[in-house]
Structure 1
Amino acid sequence: MSERRLYLDRGIGETRGVVTLDGRPERLLIARDGGSTTAKLGARLVGRIRKVEPAFASAFVDLGGVEALLSFKPEARPVEGQSLEVEIRTEARAGKLATVRAIGPAEGAPRLLTAAPDIAEQLAGFARNVQLVEGREARRAADEAEADALEIVHPLPGGGTLAIEPTRALVAIDVDVGERKGQDAKRVTRQANLAALAVAGRLLRLKSLGGIVVIDLVGRGHDGNALMTAARAAFAPDNPGVAIGPVGRFGTMELTVPRRAPPVAELLCDAKGRLTDLTLGLRLIRAIETEGVAQPGARLTAVCAPEIAAAAQPFAAGLAGRIGARFEIRPDPAAPRERFDVSGR
């Protein structure tokens, strides 16, 4: 039976929540201080219909400086200028607006009515009656989840690998049998494919990826019924909204998985796939805090690239509140951008 555990890392500058499935990270939730809470998943707002597009059965909704998209049925077409109470169904992501569902009529200017659930509340919804773990163990779980979420190639239990690469149109998943051992090739490929489906479901949730997903299975002559059963089990936590197609003639399985939150990589990385200065600055703050706990009373020096020092500086006061003003962040133009050194004396 699968076991889920919940972790909450209350860091300086950001809070991270992790769900693990049988010891491996399954979901990673990140909320950064100062971020907009208007169009977060589950928030309820009054929105005003700005423009109706009958040809696409969609309307643009002004949420108060933020725009979202509302799909409607012909018999429930809204009117431009109308106010509606709406709930965020999916958050905005690169090149895409947030989407909302209509709850009912409303009055007044666009505004937030009910904030989205915070990370602790979201975690509780993924595993009921499970105690929330905080502290050092939660930080380790969050760091591991971040690292896994940014990897492309992942190992499969029993051998082989799974590669996940999002594109503009879809998410491509490649299964490789690698050095998985066994004399019966058909049995080996069957086991690899079944393992890959379970791992793919977990990793897509971890990376917060969805939409059209194409899985390139290994081998030929697939057991379609077994693979369909495995896929339904692997993606059951993503329902409602999952649709799974049969294995095609070219050995691929296609499915659609609902998108609800933006990909983790969009938050942590820039358009070129590099970790942002803010991501690295927050990692530096956590590293100094960890060293400060390990060396109580020591004077700490963190050496890093100038842009990372600048990104970390706004969080220095919060760090001083936890470990005391006994650290220095020293910018060094020669320091590698994604590496920093924290030492005590």
Structure 2
Amino acid sequence: MPARWRGLRAVITLHYESRFGLARGAVCIDGRPHLYAEGYEFNQSLTIIGTRSVARLKAKAGGMAFLAMVDGDEAVLDVPQEVLARLNEGAALEVGIVAEARQDKRARACLIGPVEGEPRRLSPVLSLKERLLNRANAWGEIFESTVDLGVLGMAEEAALNPSGALPEGGYLSIERTRALIACDVDSAGGEGIATSKAFAKGCNERAVSDIGRRLRLSGLAGLVVIDLIGKRHDAERLHRLLKGGFGAEAGQLIVGPVGKFGTLEFVRPWGATPLMDTVHSPVRSAHRLLREAVVSSEGEPGRLLTLRAPAGILDIIRPLLAASYDPLSAIIRLEAATRSEVIVT
């Protein structure tokens, strides 16, 4: 758990890289990544968490309400049935995004109230850096660092693959299913460190303490089930460690008792889109190709760079290069191809 949440002063660093209108950043506490985000530096989408706008109530069906945003996107309106019954289709509503889109789920919005006028944006467009800082605000003062590509790469990998070894031994596996997030605590590798019972207890406690960081970093939420080692546990201590690991976010959790089969269940509200949901998105593919071009240019300064990629990816890169004052833009040319690669000539 972060030092600040234990009553000590934590070292909080922001690693941030921006080029060609695309950016990525990671917030670390005491050297461990807690947040990672990437994409357009100034994303104007109205379905980014925290964004407020006036939307049109497009339809009501099956007890659900669907919103049409001014940018052409859609969202589901979270509202009690008695309130929904009083809203007419076509009404202009001020709403705020509480959860971004994920897999086959639309973004979710909360109702602020009916308003007059046409659909429009109300919130300013924030940079990816500002959005990261806003999310990390509750942790304390941020000490900005120079760009460390190694840290950014480590945070990206951890956001995509939240399973991994626990400090001082043990392993925490995190697997996303359609219904829930299934987590398994494993004591593999702990033989000889302590008695079997004591080491298993330590693994459980380390896993419960670190699950908040891993879920926040990966963006995973919903119903979370942790399969602990053994069946007899100090539930009060495990609940305390769990909430301590989530820090300021702990108040949003719904935590259940430790079950008789040794499982700890809780619900974490969905928020930002999980990075793993964007792995094959054209924007992320464009970003990775441009990052590869930067690395290639450092090894071959002054050489012409040809970016080969499918047309959909080139359509994203083309306006970014045209709007960029980056000196590298002048030596990049684009060429349609079935797979993405950088050619140095």
TM-score of the alignment, normalized to the shorter chain, above 0.5? yes
Q: Which moved more, 1:233-242 or 1:38-47?
A: 233-242
2:274 aligned with 1:263: yes
Matches within 5 A, 1:326-341: 326=331
Q: Separation in 1 of the partners of 2:331 and 2:242?
A: 53
Q: Separation in 1 of the partners of 2:332 and 2:108?
A: 44
Deviations 1:27-74 (A, max 9, x none): 112232685511111111112223335x63x42222232222223335
2:104 aligned with 1:92: no
Q: Separation in 2 of the partners of 1:313 and 1:324?
A: 10
Deviations 1:91-137 (A, max 9, x none): 12222122112222211222212235432222322144313334x32
8 Å contact kept, 1:177–1:189: yes
Q: Separation in 2 of the partners of 1:241 and 1:84?
A: 26
How much identity, in percent, do the aligned residues show? 30
8 Å contact kept, 1:52–1:79: no
**Change in 2 beyond 3 A, CA 1:318/1:152:** same
**Change in 2 beyond 3 A, CA 1:285/1:74:** closer
Tell me what 2:67 maps to.
Answer: 61
Secondary structure of residue in 1 paired with 2:252: coil
**Change in 2 beyond 3 A, CA 1:9/1:217:** same
Counterpart pick for 1:171 among 181, 191, 214: 181
How high is the TM-score relative to the length of structure 2? 0.82
Tell me what 1:287 maps to.
Answer: 292
8 Å contact kept, 1:238–1:258: no
Deviations 1:151-188 (A, max 9, x none): 25311101121111111111111111111243311110
**Change in 2 beyond 3 A, CA 1:178/1:75:** same
Tell me what 1:299 maps to.
Answer: 303
**Change in 2 beyond 3 A, CA 1:74/1:140:** same
Q: Separation in 2 of the partners of 1:24 and 1:248?
A: 31
Tell me what 1:124 maps to.
Answer: 133
Q: Cα RMSD (Å) of the superposition?
A: 3.1
Matches within 5 A, 1:5-154: 5-32=13-40, 36-53=44-61, 56=63, 58-64=64-70, 65-77=72-84, 78-80=86-88, 81-115=90-124, 117-125=126-134, 126-127=136-137, 128-134=140-146, 136-137=147-148, 139-151=149-161, 153-154=163-164
Secondary structure of residue in 2 paired with 1:246: strand
Tell me what 1:201 maps to.
Answer: 212
Q: Separation in 2 of the partners of 1:110 and 1:240?
A: 33
The offset of 1:278, in angstroms, is 4.8
**Change in 2 beyond 3 A, CA 1:329/1:175:** farther
8 Å contact kept, 1:293–1:323: no
Q: Which moved more, 1:115-124 or 1:168-177?
A: 115-124
**Change in 2 beyond 3 A, CA 1:239/1:115:** farther
Q: Separation in 2 of the partners of 1:62 and 1:112?
A: 12
The offset of 1:239, in angstroms, is 4.1
8 Å contact kept, 1:44–1:116: no
Secondary structure of residue in 2 paired with 1:200: helix
8 Å contact kept, 2:39–2:283: no
Q: Which moved more, 1:105-114 or 1:201-210?
A: 105-114
**Change in 2 beyond 3 A, CA 1:233/1:290:** same
Deviations 1:233-261 (A, max 9, x none): 11234344211112111111111001011
**Change in 2 beyond 3 A, CA 1:342/1:237:** farther
The offset of 1:266, in angstroms, is 0.9
The offset of 1:215, in angstroms, is 0.8
8 Å contact kept, 2:36–2:155: yes
Amino acid at match of 1:176: D
Tell me what 1:273 maps to.
Answer: none
The offset of 1:342, in angstroms, is 7.3
Q: Which moved more, 1:237-246 or 1:192-201?
A: 237-246
The offset of 1:286, in angstroms, is 1.5
Structure 2: gaps of 5 or more residues: 5-9
Secondary structure of residue in 2 paired with 1:285: helix
Amino acid at match of 2:142: V
Q: Separation in 1 of the partners of 2:121 and 2:312?
A: 35
8 Å contact kept, 2:34–2:213: yes
